[in-house]
Amino acid sequence: MAAYARFGDGVEVGEEVFKALARFAPDGVMNVLACDQHNSILKLLTQFFENAQAKGKSPDEYPAESSDADVTRACQIFARALGRVPNAALFNHLGFKSEGFRELLGAETMLIGRLEDTNFLTTSEGKGQIAHLAVQPEEIAGQVDGFKTLVKVDPAHREAWEKNLEWIQDIWQRARKLGKPLFNETLYTPGGASKRELAAGLPEALVKIARDFGAFGDFYKTQVPMLWLAGNGAAARVSSPEVIRKTTEAMAVVVDRPLLLLSAAVDFEQYAAQYGIVCDLVAGPMCGRAYFKDPFADPEVADWQALEAAIAQVAVPRMEQIKRLAAATSKPWWHKYAWMSPDARTALPESARKQLQPDLPRPGDRVRVTDAGY
């Protein structure tokens, strides 16, 4: 199949991938809601169940511990309450495989399926984490519009580093054969480090990780350094806005893919600040818990109906805030293309085509397609 576009490193983008992105994000901003955090959702639900029981709810419906069935129900709530706000939404197989899920999410929102298992394998010395699949991309290709992967890495753990590189390269090639965009996420996970040590290591580690892992996908989803650590009712500052900005600039240089910003478990207040600092360097948010986690801990939210209403009340304004910021300032998803074919240009809406200069560069020219043209 003829190439529709080409990244600066020479990797080609086919018709299926390009048209999928053009369909779901015609304005160029890839604004993604992430609801795939299996273990985290289990913990949130267990807190919610405790609050429900404290209000006299039956432990049969609100048990002491949450289950996979409860995660499925939560995913359905996220899809129904929030799924029509973003361009795309990310779920694990407990969500997107459930009956009627596509209808809950809506046909206008790209459905991205998480591929990796929530529990990672460990290296022979037990110091590194290795990703492995929960579902095969070939088996779910007909159910989702795109794929997502996550690898947890630390530059100090070379065995896990190399094995994760091999793993993501394989998934990337399989996604390309299936004609599905791949959203490649990395997370800096130093074993045995305290929160402060982790935060201090982020600026240097993130650029190293991006340099090696950033090429394997259509998007590179990354965290940025933290502004502060919250605890004991206070916030301890760990990085400056300048450090966050320079780190993201460095990642944007070494990665020939559009960047998406994840929340990495920070609260919404910090995520909004992080996004504001780097919004003109990235192609959009890919955020979840920072939007919707608060109602799970609210002692007044004591049943499923109240939870859904509270999630919508809290999360929708937050999502709209970041969505407006992204639309106003962030890069279009095509800005890392070095070349775009005439057919690709035609697949974009007229409003987007007007931003592109009429004269196309030759294939192989080292130039970028940006929001301002070639």
* Length of the chain (residues): 374
CA distance 176 to 251: 24
Beta bridge partners of 116: 133
- Name the more confident of 283 and 2: 283
Q: Is it the case that residue 373 has pLDDT exceeding 50?
A: no
Q: Among 27-31, 172-176, 309-313, 317-321, where is mean pLDDT lowest?
A: 27-31
pLDDT digits (tens, 9 = 90+) for 128-185: 899 999 999 999 999 999 999 999 999 999 999 999 999 999 999 999 999 999 999 9
Question: 290-322 as b/e, with b when 16 or more CB fall inside 10 Å?
Answer: bbbbbbbeeeebbebebbbebbbebbbebbeeb
Q: Is it the case that residue 371 has pLDDT exceeding 80?
A: no
Average pLDDT over residues 340-367: 73
- Name the more confident of 278 and 2: 278
Average model confidence (pLDDT) across the chain: 93
Average pLDDT over residues 274-296: 98
Give φ, ψ of 70 to 5 degrees: -70, -35
- Residue 370's pLDDT band, with cuts at 50, 70 and 90, is low
- Residue 358's pLDDT band, with cuts at 50, 70 and 90, is low
Give pLDDT, residue 354: 77
Give pLDDT, residue 91: 98
Give pLDDT, residue 368: 56
- Residue 351's pLDDT band, with cuts at 50, 70 and 90, is confident
- Residue 101's pLDDT band, with cuts at 50, 70 and 90, is very high
Angle at 6 between CA 10 and CA 205, to 5 degrees: 65
Give φ, ψ of 191 to 5 degrees: -65, 135
pTM of the model: 0.94
Ordered domains of the chain (ranges, CATH) = 29-331 (3.20.20.70)
* Alpha carbon distances (Å) from 241 to 59, 114, 137, 203, 210: 46, 31, 38, 12, 20
3-state helix, strand, coil in the chain (%, to 5): 45, 15, 40
